[in-house]
Amino acid sequence: EMVLTQSPGTLSLSPGDRATVSCRASQPVNAQYFAWYQQKVGQAPRLLIYGASSRATGVPDRFSGSGSGTDFSLTISGLEPQDFAVYYCQQYGSSQWTFGQGTKLEI
C-alpha cells in the first residue's frame, strides 16, 4: 500500500517568505502521476501542480513543483496572504489514488 508522508505538518511563515512543502512516497512514483492541491477553509481543493512540475491553468508562477522517485516538493516563492491554506500531495499507481495527510501553511 502506497503511503505519502508530508512534512512539515504545519509551516508558520510571513508574507513574502519562501515556503517549501515536502512529500515522501513509500514506493517510487512515476512523476507523471504526481500532483499538488491547495485547499482553503470551507472550499474544495484546487489543482496547483500536475506531472510533478507543471502548473495548472491560472496558477501563479510563484508556485513550483519538483522531484522524482520517492521525494517531491512544492515551493511557493514570495508568499501572498491568499496562499495561507492547506496543501496536499497526491499520486496515482496500481489503479489507486493516494493523498498525503496535508501541510497547513499558516501566518
Partner 1 sequence: EVQLVQSGAEVKKPGESLRISCRGSGYSFTNYWIGWVRQMPGRGLEWVGIINPADSETRYSPSFQGQVIISVDKSISTAYLQWSTLKASDTAIYFCARRPNFYFYMDVWGKGTTVTVSS
- Which C-beta is closer to partner 1: that of 14 or that of 95? 95
Q: How far is CA 1 from the centre of its chain?
A: 20
Q: Is 8 in the site for partner 1 (CB under 8 A)?
A: no
Q: Of 24-83, which residues contact partner 1 (CB under 8 A)?
A: 32-33, 35, 37, 39, 43-47, 50-51, 56
- Which C-beta is closer to partner 1: that of 15 or that of 26? 26
- Which C-beta is closer to partner 1: that of 14 or that of 41? 41
Do the strands 86-93 and 34-39 form a parallel or antiparallel pair, or are they unpaired? antiparallel
Dihedrals φ, ψ of 31, to 5°? -60, -30
Q: Is 88 in the site for partner 1 (CB under 8 A)?
A: yes
Do the strands 19-29 and 10-12 form a parallel or antiparallel pair, or are they unpaired? unpaired
Torsion angle, alpha carbons of 63, 67, 70, 76, to 10: -20
Binding site for partner 1 (CB under 8 A): 1, 32-33, 35, 37, 39, 43-47, 50-51, 56, 86, 88, 90, 92, 95-102
